[in-house]
């Protein structure tokens, strides 16, 4: 039991490197001790397996962190709760793009219109573009969860995608009928 | 056709995974090194930690309100515009955060680092393919 505890603790401790040993910070800098080691604040947030090893979406939704939206005055966030399915993904499962998780952090202008047009399917790009740091890869693989997490984006199997699309088409037809 | 697609998928997997193996340890994910001018002008490179700042600010504060472009090195940050209240200086002004007098807190990098974004765990970030 004790051994298990020690093992878990060392596994946890090794999630984040000390600044002095991270290969980036100059260990001879006298001010280094004033900087915070990532373990101090990241280890108390909801865990994840990659990136900063923090589930940032959950941390925000749980209120574990309360990042400001504005430095001049606290403006209301513009949150959009709209999922977009991005098709043409060949044999890979279809991509579901959730606006909600994104607009909790970002402004529309961070993506529209220079990365993506505001019309489903209007922007053409491939996985290779993403891997080269364009489109979704502007953030994913740099700051947001890395591109190794295929199934977080490729999360909808084709049958379910067909069903969702049919439902959306019916809903639209009904809405048009009402007009 | 289908086989070809599966093969492409597997190759992509391999590329991504091998980049993860080649880039273990070193830096916290999303740390930014800024060294376009610093070392040439006799100070250590700057290290900007995304993890530390995103606990306190949403992305849009820096990348929409303050106008930091999302491409490392594209913002032409200098001490002159920082002390004039732009970029880091919009907060590091002794008001929102400690002031630009604290040289060693920002200029904390090892000599010789290249400007760029670091991925501590999985990828080297974009621009390497």
pLDDT of residue B54: 97
Tell me what the pLDDT averaged over chain A comes to.
86
Q: What value does the mean pLDDT take over residues B50-78?
A: 95
Using pLDDT thresholds of 50, 70 and 90, give the confidence band for residue A171: confident
What distance in Å separates the CA atoms of residue A19 and residue A23, rounded to the nearest whole number?
Answer: 8
A34 contacts chain B (CB < 8 A):
yes
B7 has a pLDDT exceeding 90: no
Using pLDDT thresholds of 50, 70 and 90, give the confidence band for residue B126: very low
Using pLDDT thresholds of 50, 70 and 90, give the confidence band for residue B9: low
Using pLDDT thresholds of 50, 70 and 90, give the confidence band for residue A152: very high
Of B27, B57, B91, the CB nearest to A23: B27
A172 has a pLDDT exceeding 80: no
> Which CA distances in Å does B74 have to A147, B32, B69, B77, B87?
23, 12, 7, 9, 12
Q: What value of ipTM does the predicted structure carry? A: 0.84
Are the C-beta atoms of residues A119 and A102 closer than 8 Å to each other? no
List domains and CATH numbers for chain A.
3-50 (no CATH), 67-179 (3.90.10.10)
A38 has a pLDDT exceeding 80: yes
CB pairs under 8 A between A and B: 174
Nearest to A127 by CA among A96, A89, A97, A155: A89
Which residue would you say has higher pLDDT here, B74 or A1? B74
The domain segmentation of chain B, as residue ranges, is 23-124
Q: Which residues are paired to A6 by β-bridges?
A: none
Of A56, A90, A137, the CB nearest to B5: A90
Task: Please provide the DSSP assignment of B11-73 as one string.
Answer: HHHHHHHHHHHHT-SSS-TTEEEE-SSTGGGTSPPEEEEHHHHHHHB-HHIIIIIS---SSTT
Which chain B residues are within 8 Å of A63, Cβ to Cβ? Answer: none
Q: Of A4-13, B4-13, B71-80, which range is least confident? A: A4-13
Run of H or E including A58: helix A56-61
A133 contacts chain B (CB < 8 A):
yes
Q: What value does the mean pLDDT take over residues A94-115?
A: 96
What are the pLDDT digits (tens) for B14-55? Answer: 544 444 433 444 789 999 999 999 999 999 999 999 999 999
Tokens found for residue B81: 């515009």
What are the pLDDT digits (tens) for A45-67? Answer: 999 998 999 999 999 999 999 99
Of A110, A141, A146, the CB nearest to B60: A110
Q: Which residue in B has a C-alpha nearest to residue A33's C-alpha?
A: B105
Angle at A126 between CA A81 and CA B8, to 5 degrees: 125
Q: What dihedral angle (degrees, nearest 10) is formed by the CA atoms of A129, A131, A133, A134?
A: 20
B76 has a pLDDT exceeding 70: yes
Class of the domain covering B23-124: alpha beta
A23 contacts chain B (CB < 8 A):
yes
A150 has a pLDDT exceeding 60: yes
Using pLDDT thresholds of 50, 70 and 90, give the confidence band for residue B77: very high
Enter the pTM of the model: 0.91
A133 with B28: Cβ contact below 8 A: no
Are the C-beta atoms of residues A64 and A125 closer than 8 Å to each other? no
């Amino acid at each position: 039991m004790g051994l298990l505890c020690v093992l878990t603790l060392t596994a946890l401790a090794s999630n984040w490197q000390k600044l002095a040993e991270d290969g980036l910070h100059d260990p001879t800098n006298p001010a280094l001790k004033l900087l915070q080691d990532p373990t101090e604040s990241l280890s108390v947030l909801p865990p994840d397996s990659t990136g900063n090893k923090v589930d940032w979406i959950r941390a925000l939704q749980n209120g574990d962190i309360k990042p400001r939206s504005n430095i001049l005055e606290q403006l209301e966030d513009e949150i959009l709760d709209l999922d977009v399915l991005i098709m043409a993904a060949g044999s890979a499962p279809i991509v579901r793009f959730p606006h909600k998780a994104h607009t909790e952090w970002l402004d529309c202008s961070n993506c529209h219109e220079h990365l993506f047009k505001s019309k489903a399917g209007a922007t053409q790009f491939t996985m290779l573009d993403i891997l080269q740091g364009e489109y979704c890869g502007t953030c994913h693989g740099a700051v947001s969860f890395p591109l190794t997490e295929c199934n977080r984006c490729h999360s909808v199997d084709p049958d379910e995608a067909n069903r969702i699309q049919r439902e959306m088409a019916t809903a639209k037809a009904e809405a048009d009928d009402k007009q | 056709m289908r086989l070809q697609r599966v093969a492409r998928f597997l190759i992509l997997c391999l590329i991504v995974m091998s980049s993860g193996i080649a880039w273990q340890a070193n830096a916290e994910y999303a740390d930014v090194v800024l060294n376009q001018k610093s070392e040439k002008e006799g100070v250590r490179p700057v290290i900007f930690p995304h993890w530390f700042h995103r606990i306190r600010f949403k992305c849009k504060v820096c990348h929409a309100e303050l106008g930091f472009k999302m491409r490392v090195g594209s913002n032409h940050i200098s001490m002159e515009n920082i002390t004039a209240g732009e970029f880091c200086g919009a907060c590091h002004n002794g008001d929102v955060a400690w002031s630009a007098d604290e040289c060693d807190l920002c200029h904390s990098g090892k000599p010789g680092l290249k400007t760029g974004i670091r991925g501590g765990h999985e990828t080297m970030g974009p621009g390497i393919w």
